[in-house]
Chains A and B, each alone.
Chain A
Amino acid sequence: MSMSEKTIWDKIAELDIRWIYLLTIILIVIPVVRPLGIPILVSEPVKDFYKTIDELPPGSVVAVSFRGSLGLLDEQEAQFIALWKILFQRDLKVIFYSPTADGEIILDMHLGKKVRPEDYGKKYGIDYVRLGYAPIGEPGEAAFALDIRSVFPTDYKGTPLDEIPMMKNINSWKDIDLLIFQYTSCTDVEIAIRQWVVPYNMPVLTMTLGCCGPMAAPYYPKMIKGFLSGSIAGAELEIIGGVPGPGAAMTDAKNLGIFGLIVSLILGNLAYWGRRLSKEGGE
């Protein structure tokens, strides 16, 4: 065999990666065109997430720190829509605030359009309030916990909080029964831990991307009562909460898309080990 002759391992190693890209795109599109409808199992963090909300006494106040990202919405939209429905189905007072500009836009898209609070008998200012967007970061989260009005003196429409019936007796962490902390930057989970759990022992639930789940897990179940990570958790929440939504379709697209990664891993390692073993065999 001449030196220039390529072995099968060389050919695998030099495969044009664009074939794998093409395969991935086709595999992602298939379930979108023709849903697979594969059953989904509900995991423990999602069960605990739902249970924590379900066991709240009537009239409890839930604060939603909503750090949504429009670019990553497809990964989390199922979580959001399922959660809004679950919250509005219950006798709870919900405060939404957005430390990201995108968060407020997503709430605009969802509340009143994809999920109509009126359909659940909920009224703005009585059952739920939107405080709007402020780039508060972690220090602002601490300030919010101590004094809501110091960060958000008005709601998103500019109405002073004192003029909103629901907010009359809600001033600080002492008046909040549960914090739902949504984020897209994996280490942001620690903001909730540092500013809500450690100082006030506040019950906290978190919602994040699939890749951030492993960084939320170390705080579960003692500091975080439950967490949602990725579109699969959104689909699980839809199932356990009995609130059908887009989660199943989102998760379906992932079913086959992952094969591109597996094929890449297998081919890359086949080429590596094939070349290495054939070289060692030759020597």
Chain B
Amino acid sequence: MTTPLALGVLAGAILSGTSLLYATLGETLVERAGIVNLGLEGVLLIGASTGFAVAAGTGGAWRGLLAAALAGGLANVLFGWLVVTRRANQLASGLAMMFFGFGLSALVGAPYVGSVIVGLPKWRPGWLAALPWVESTTLFNYDLLTWLAIPVALLVWWVLFRTRWGLGVRSVGESPATAYAAGRNPGALQYQALAAGGVLGGLAGAHLSLSLTLTWSEYMTAGRGFIAIALVIFSKWNPLRALAGALLFGGAEALQLQLQARGSEVSPFLLEMSPYLLTLLVLLAWGGARRMAAPAGLGRTFYGSD
């Protein structure tokens, strides 16, 4: 019994889109505070390898998840020290953090390559399993991170747009000088946004190693961090649209694999390119209003009042 294409794509999209979503949400928070973190790929890798190492070393996937979240947060705070305190160029520092993440994750994960772990537990409520077609697929059989994906996106939206702290973060992203004049502490707010964004990035990486693949190998994220950065732009720095973006890209990735499995006449090389082509097309079509949507202070360094 074969699964209909749409369900297969949806199932694959949710599985592969979970880590993309968390990464995009983390980067959205950070960019709303006016900082571009090009090193997101490194943060994801640090989260993935730390999570896997702790899970393999202590035998607990939950401990691995916690460790991954902490590691991601610390990595972003380190990046924050570079760009907020030391006022280094954000783009260059981000790329440096990316390479740092490559190396650190490889170092941390090296003793654990090939280890077999029990990953994050998965749940599927009985009434959902009883729906037609669902039983034999991966639909609704998710770990905690996937189940919480939508609530976390809503939470990030609510924090950014409905709390004083979120208002402060957004104001720093628009104009740090104005926020400073209004009595906010831009540096502190940026650090806090970085820490929170880093935790989300660490969780994104952990989902890859602790749930999706149950392994660790170097460069395992295969460019997901950069896709997430593109998705932040695609979603116009809005966490709710990030849901759509993550599903879209995850779906494109799943679609090309499902089409191959159905014997598509399209070359597998072209199919493999399709998710990235789709991202480009979507950015071209919907990226137009970017000028008005991006935080005005994005990427600029705030030198304070002295």
| Same complex | no
Interface residues of B (CB under 8 A from A): none
